[in-house]
Amino acid sequence: MQIDILQTAAIISAVSILVGALFGVFKFYAENKHYKEEIKQIKKEMSIICYAQNACLNGLHQLGANGEVTKAIKRMDDYINNAAHDQD
C-alpha cells in the first residue's frame, strides 16, 4: 500500500484546520472569561461611585440646595432601587 503526496497533504491540512479551530474556540473562551471579570469589576466600581454621588447630593440637600438637587436625588434613589432589584 502506497500513500501518495496528495493524501498526505489532505490529512495534514485536515489536522491543521481542526487544531486551528480548537485553538480559536479556546482563545475565544479565555477572552470571554477575562471580559466577564473586567465587567464585574467595572460594575462594582460604578456602584461605589453611584452611592458616593448620592451621598454628596444628600449633603447638598441638607445644606439647603433645592431645585435640581432634589430632582437628582429622586432620580438617583429611583435608579438605585431599580438596580438593586435587577441584580443576580
Q: Can you read off the three cell numbers belonging to residue 26?
A: 479556546
Higher-scoring residue by pLDDT: 68, 84: 68
Residue 63: what pLDDT?
A: 92
Distances (CA, A) of 23 to 10, 11, 32, 51, 52: 20, 18, 14, 43, 44
* pLDDT tens sequence across 9-59: 999 999 999 999 999 999 999 889 889 989 999 989 988 998 899 999 999
Work out the end-to-end distance of the chain between its first and last CA atoms, rounded to an integer number of angstroms.
63
* pTM reported for the whole predicted model: 0.58
Kindly list the domain boundaries of the chain, sorted by start residue.
5-86
Query: What distance in Å separates the CA atoms of residue 73 and residue 36, rounded to the nearest whole number?
Result: 31
SS3 88: coil
At 65, the pLDDT band (50, 70, 90 cuts) reads: confident
Query: What distance in Å separates the CA atoms of residue 9 and residue 17, rounded to the nearest whole number?
Result: 12
- Write out the H or E segment, with its range, that includes residue 70: helix 68-86
- Altogether, the residues listed in the chain come to a count of 88
Residue 7: what pLDDT?
A: 87
Residue 42: what pLDDT?
A: 94
